[in-house]
Amino acid sequence: MNHPSLKQIEAVVFDWAGTTVDFGCFAPVQAFVEVFKQYGVEPTMEEVREPMGMLKIDHIRTMLKMPRIHQCWVEKYGKEPGEEEAQQLFSIFEEKLLSILHLYADPKPGVVETVNALKEKGIRIGSTTGYTDKMMEIIIPITREKGYEPECWFSPDSTGQKGRPYPYMIFRNMETLGIDDVRKVLKVGDTASDIKEGKHAGVWSAGVIVGSSEMGLTEEEYEALSPEEKEAKCKETEEKFRKAGADIVFRTLEELKVALI
């Protein structure tokens, strides 16, 4: 797992839901499903998870353009969904998500230990997210209390609403942490849009498999799998990350810790 180029890493920029908190990334999934159902359109799990990691309004815009959802909407309402509909859905989505976020803010297994070990080695810790500042204000105090707090974090609110796959949140982290070269930075996430964000910034881009949105299982569901099923699921998820352009794929954050220390 030791990647020769990782020895030059000076900063790790983590994603949030599905990467460092909320095993399986279920808070936004639940909110997206409920919002679309409220409008009489029931999305599949695949449809909900495909744009995961994006700025949330962009996520809704993307879902409304998906052929099946688009068709269902036209059949139900007799017109194509546009920006007005996207904004209506988003306002309900935001309300739903804000009401449940505190239930999905626990750090994933190994996060606190991994981050503390990286900090001890002098590696700086930043983060980017598809959540808004308002959403992060709920999450940050909970993770801080449970032992996880990056040195800085940036949402699309800090980059003129240009979230993933734009690279600007990563650049804000580099600026704040004082990192002078993109090749000294490792971006770690759990979705294809996380990987693309890293690639577009020119930093090392890594996916973390277990507990990811791409895998889409709860901790209980994952632990209930046989060793063979776990292996198959992990390989399938790794393929998705590789397809998105990942330089490195880790099974867990403990594997990342071993690779960097």
Q: Is 233 a catalytic residue?
A: no
On whether both 35 and 139 belong to a single domain, the answer is no
Among 15, 58, 194, 247, which one carries the catalytic annotation? 15
Residues 49 and 149 in one domain: no
- 154: which strand partners? 128
CATH for 81: 1.10.150.240
Q: Which of 7, 22, 37, 56 is catalytic?
A: 56
**In the listed set 85, 102, 119, which residue is the last one of a domain according to the structure?**
102
84 lies in the same domain as 156: no
pLDDT beyond 80 at 72: yes
d(CA 149, CA 161) in angstroms, rounded, equals 23
Single residue among 55, 75, 102 that ends a domain in this structure:
102
More confident residue, 159 or 6: 159
pTM of full prediction above 0.85: yes
In this predicted structure, what is the pLDDT of residue 4?
52
Q: Would the pLDDT of 219 be above 70?
A: yes
Q: What are the angstrom distances between the C-alpha of 255 and each of 62, 96, 105, 110, 111?
A: 33, 34, 22, 10, 11
Upstream peptide bond of 51 is cis (omega within 30 degrees of 0): no
pLDDT, residue 55, reads: 86
The residue count of the chain comes to: 261
Query: Residue 189: beta bridge partners?
Result: 207
Query: What's the rounded mean pLDDT across residues 156-160?
Result: 96
The pLDDT score that the predictor gives to residue 53 is 81
Residues 88 and 186 in one domain: no
Average pLDDT over residues 158-173: 96
Please confirm, yes or no, whether 37 is among the known catalytic residues.
Answer: no
User: How much is the pLDDT for 54?
Assistant: 87
Average pLDDT on 8-28 reads: 95
Binding-site positions read 15, 17, 190
Beta strands in the chain (DSSP E): 11-14, 124-127, 185-189, 204-208, 248-250
Q: Are residues 96 and 165 in the same domain?
A: no
Q: Alpha-carbon distance 184 to 127, whole Å?
A: 15
Residue 231 Cα to chain centre, angstroms: 22
CATH of the domain at 130: 3.40.50.1000
163-186 average pLDDT score? 97
Q: State which of 55, 72, 102 marks the end of a domain.
A: 102
CA–CA separation, 61 and 227 (whole Å): 38
CA distances from 45 to 29, 32, 114, 214, 219 (A): 8, 10, 30, 11, 17
Check pLDDT > 50 for residue 202: yes
Q: Looking at the structure, do residues 130 and 94 belong to the same domain, yes or no? A: no
Rounded to 5°, the CA angle 132-46-13 comes to: 40
Rounded average pLDDT over 218-228: 95
Q: Give the residue-averaged pLDDT of 65-79.
A: 96
Determine the pLDDT at residue 165: 93
Region 234-245: mean pLDDT is 96
For residues 48 and 124, membership in a common domain is answered with no
Please indicate, yes or no, whether residues 21 and 37 belong to a single structural domain of this protein: no
Could you tell me which residues are annotated as the binding site for Mg(2+)? 15, 17, 190
Mind listing the pLDDT tens digit for each residue in 106-143? Answer: 999 999 999 999 999 999 999 999 999 999 999 999 99
Q: Are residues 134 and 86 in the same domain?
A: no
Do 150 and 68 belong to one domain?
no
Q: What is the pLDDT of residue 7?
A: 82
How many separate domains does the chain show? 2
CA distance linking residue 158 with residue 136, whole number of Å: 12
Could you tell me if 137 and 21 lie in one domain? yes
Q: How sure is the predictor about 1, in pLDDT bands with cuts at 50, 70 and 90?
A: very low
Owning domain of residue 241: 4-25+104-260
Q: Verify that 136 and 239 share a domain, yes or no.
A: yes
